[in-house]
Amino acid sequence: MLLQKFLIALIPVPLFYLIYFRYFTFKPEYIKHFESFLYGITLALVIILVSPFIYAAIPFSDIFTDAFIKAAALEKIGAFMLIYIIHRYYPNFSIMESVVSAMMLGIGFSLVENIFYAMNYGQSIILIRLIVSVPLHLTTCGYIGYYLGLSKISDTTFYRAEYTLKALLIPIILHGTFDMILLSGGRGVYILIPMLLIMIMFLELMIANAHNILPLDILDAMKLRFEDWLTINRQPRYDRWIMRSMGTPNTEVVPFFRIHKSAFRWILVVLFFGAAVVLFQYRADITAYMRVSLSMGEKIVVFGIFPASISITLILVGAINPQFFEESIIRIPIISDVVVNFGDRMEETFVTYHISTVNCFLKTSEELGIGTEIDMTLELPHAVSPPLKAVVVWENFTNRRAPLGSTVRFKKPPWEFYPFLIRYYIFRFIRGIIFNLKFPGFEAFRRLFMRPITTMQNEKLFMAGSKIFREGDAGNQFYLIKTGKVIFYKNKSENEIIVMDTMEAGEIFGEMSIVGDHPRAATAVCVTDCVLAVSEKDNLDALIRNNPDFAISLIKKLADRVNMSEKILSENIKQLQMQKKDNVRFFHVAMMLTLVGLGYSPVDGNINLNINLKNIEEVLKQMDDETAAEIINLVMKKQQNLVGRESDVDEKILDAVQKMYEKYNIDISY
């Protein structure tokens, strides 16, 4: 009988080890995982030895005390201390190593605990412990490993304290709640397995996320703190949310779940579901054969819910895609203005999506310089932070797969910064709740994260002299200048242009054609090398719909450009009128000089020309080659008398003069 109990107690250990085997093959070496397994066995033996003394020292004996103090707190504090010791033996530490080692410790602890219960309690207790002990300790110890690992790689006191508290409190609360339900009995036992499945799901989330967290040695090689890497890693999630909120999702969407490709795993899934059906149908016969007295609830859990839960666990383990956290997960940004003073340089304003206790990421368009110290102020609606000193610790402007911008680390923030930060998190939380639950007015909050610099993610480099678009082209894109200078002109003649406007970094152009659905009104040319953020018509529509401030500024800008265009065109029209008048005068001068040079008197020739002789020099400068050639030809004919009688020459000359007037469309009676 004792051997039967012993074998029953051992069943869950290899079962769950095989279920999670894909994680236990994670390097560094199997020997370290085996060491963690032995640590778990040792912890269980120590607790069995000291627990009588601890129970005797605690005078209370109720369900809450037994569940949370005598069981959960005692066991999880011991696991916490041992996992902390294990971490010291991983020089190239990673979060995945921490989680796997902690899970092995939990399995070792469960092995001894199950055997202890098998030797000291009845089979009804053994069967329930068989079901819950291993997954309970495996998951809660996995949580300790995850958060304690984050604490180890964190560099700041705040983050270390936060993750350490989570590593202690979350497992104790879950374990204590679970034991309290188990000790209470009754119908509450039905929720134990669903609770375990939820805990397994959260462990899978942690493991999937742990795959994407860089090991400590790589962070050291990059000269980055974990807190800085975490801030950088969040940025693509904010960008993805903005793009999807505008109806332009990523072209590459990674699913949250991935389907297992192992045929053997799916065979096991079917077998355990089948076992659940068969065992539940014959539960009474099985309990009678085993001579075990079980309540109806215990029978349902042991012979129905448990084998079905094993089948579900086989599906859940490894089903969460780690790439989802890297490629598809999204976070709602709350954009804050950051006013930066570079000392001897002028003040500039950037935006940030998230402010932490130690750093923030700035959407900059050009290098600030790693190691550069800056003075900055964070601005929210109705709140401004105290002046902060910060240093640039990371930048990227070339790798398009990484966030483009700069990470700055705060240097000893003043105490006034923390009340501002609390206000910021409250502001962020309330707006997030209102937006996610679609409370009335939630759409108005889009203006908090819908700005040109956030909606225009596609950047292009244009070299100096490049034409961005030409006058008359169809307009289906608009642009934000991140760096450089752009001029806009219209063609006045073949070799002459009219400069309409000049723009520099931070300004938007090209939107007028989109709004009015008209061809480009001018040609845009880069004066210097330019980095432009390019966006489609849909993004402009989203900005106008969701950001009233942008819509108002756009209307003002359009009005200013119309006024400027009218002013420029009016000045050019006046200039053209004056030029036409001068050309008429110059033409008369040219004709007068021609007739005088040919020996004719303007009065005798019945050509009344009122000419100012002082304009002769200007006439010569303005005269085109074709007119000059015709005049020279007439003079040569007169002098050489090439066409016969002189009267014929005179007639031809006068005809030629008349045709010149007609050619230039000038009234001869001027």
Average pLDDT along the chain, 670 residues, taken 10 residues at a time: 55 70 61 84 90 81 86 92 85 81 89 74 58 86 94 90 95 92 75 87 90 84 89 86 65 73 82 82 72 67 75 82 77 81 72 89 85 89 88 86 88 91 86 71 61 65 87 82 85 74 82 74 88 74 65 70 70 69 62 56 45 44 59 62 52 59 48
DSSP class of 156: S
Q: How many domains does the chain have?
A: 4
Is 601 inside any structural domain?
yes
52 and 182 fall within a common domain: yes
Is 568 inside any structural domain?
no
Amino acid in the structure at residue 303: F
Report the SS3 class of residue 228. Answer: helix
58 and 178 fall within a common domain: yes
25 and 47 fall within a common domain: yes
> Which region holds residue 507: left if phi is over 0, alpha if psi is between -120 and 50, else beta?
beta
**Residue whose pair of structure tokens reads 């294990």 in the numeric block:** 86
List all residues 6 or more positions away from 482 whose beta carbon is below 8 Å from its beta carbon. 365, 366, 459, 505, 530, 531, 532, 533
DSSP class of 215: P
460 and 595 fall within a common domain: no
For the stretch 208-236, what's the b/e string if a residue is b when 16 or more beta carbons lie within 10 angstroms of its beta carbon? bbbbbbbbbeebeeeebbbbbbbbbbbbb
Scanning 598-645, the segments in alpha helix (DSSP H) are 616-622, 625-640
Is 34 inside any structural domain?
yes
492 and 411 fall within a common domain: no
Is 305 inside any structural domain?
no
Query: Can you give the CATH number for the domain in which 370 is found?
Result: 2.40.10.220
417 and 367 fall within a common domain: yes
Token pair listed for 464: 């100096």
Nearest to 197 by CA among 43, 319, 95: 319
Residue 655 CA to residue 645 CA, distance in Å, equals: 16
Residue 570 has what pLDDT? 73
Output phi, psi for 471, to 5 deg.
-60, 130
**Residue whose pair of structure tokens reads 């935006």 in the numeric block:** 351
Query: Can you give the CATH number for the domain in which 510 is found?
Result: 2.60.120.10
**Residue whose pair of structure tokens reads 């780690």 in the numeric block:** 322
Residue 97 CA to residue 215 CA, distance in Å, equals: 9
Scanning 301-359, the segments in alpha helix (DSSP H) are 306-316, 322-327
Is 233 inside any structural domain?
no
Is 253 inside any structural domain?
no
DSSP class of 471: T
Output phi, psi for 478, to 5 deg.
-130, 165
492, 572 Cβ separation under 8 angstroms: yes
List all residues 6 or more positions away from 391 whose beta carbon is below 8 Å from its beta carbon. 371, 372, 373, 374, 408, 409, 411
505, 348 Cβ separation under 8 angstroms: no
Domain boundary among 189, 213, 237: 213
Complete DSSP assignment for 555-576:
HHHHHHHHHHHHHHHHHHHHHH
Residue 412 CA to residue 571 CA, distance in Å, equals: 58
Bridge partners for 460 per DSSP: 532
Residue range(s) defining the domain that contains residue 123 = 2-213
581 and 600 fall within a common domain: yes
Complete DSSP assignment for 250-309:
-SS---SB-----HHHHHHHHHHHHHHHHHHHTHHHHHHHHT----HHHHHIIIIIHHHH
Residue 509 CA to residue 70 CA, distance in Å, equals: 69
CA 175 to chain centre: 36
Domain boundary among 174, 195, 213: 213
Residue 121 CA to residue 523 CA, distance in Å, equals: 88
> Which region holds residue 55: left if phi is over 0, alpha if psi is between -120 and 50, else beta?
alpha
436 and 535 fall within a common domain: no
444 and 481 fall within a common domain: no
**Residue whose pair of structure tokens reads 């009128």 in the numeric block:** 577
114 and 138 fall within a common domain: yes
Nearest to 146 by CA among 194, 198, 202, 90: 202
Measuring CA to CA, how many Å separate 662 from each of 406, 587, 656? 68, 12, 10
For the stretch 153-171, what's the b/e string if a residue is b when 16 or more beta carbons lie within 10 angstroms of its beta carbon? bbebeebbebbbebbbebb
472 and 386 fall within a common domain: no
Domain boundary among 448, 468, 493: 448
634, 594 Cβ separation under 8 angstroms: yes
Is 314 inside any structural domain?
no
Is 469 inside any structural domain?
yes
77 and 199 fall within a common domain: yes
Report the SS3 class of residue 510. Answer: coil
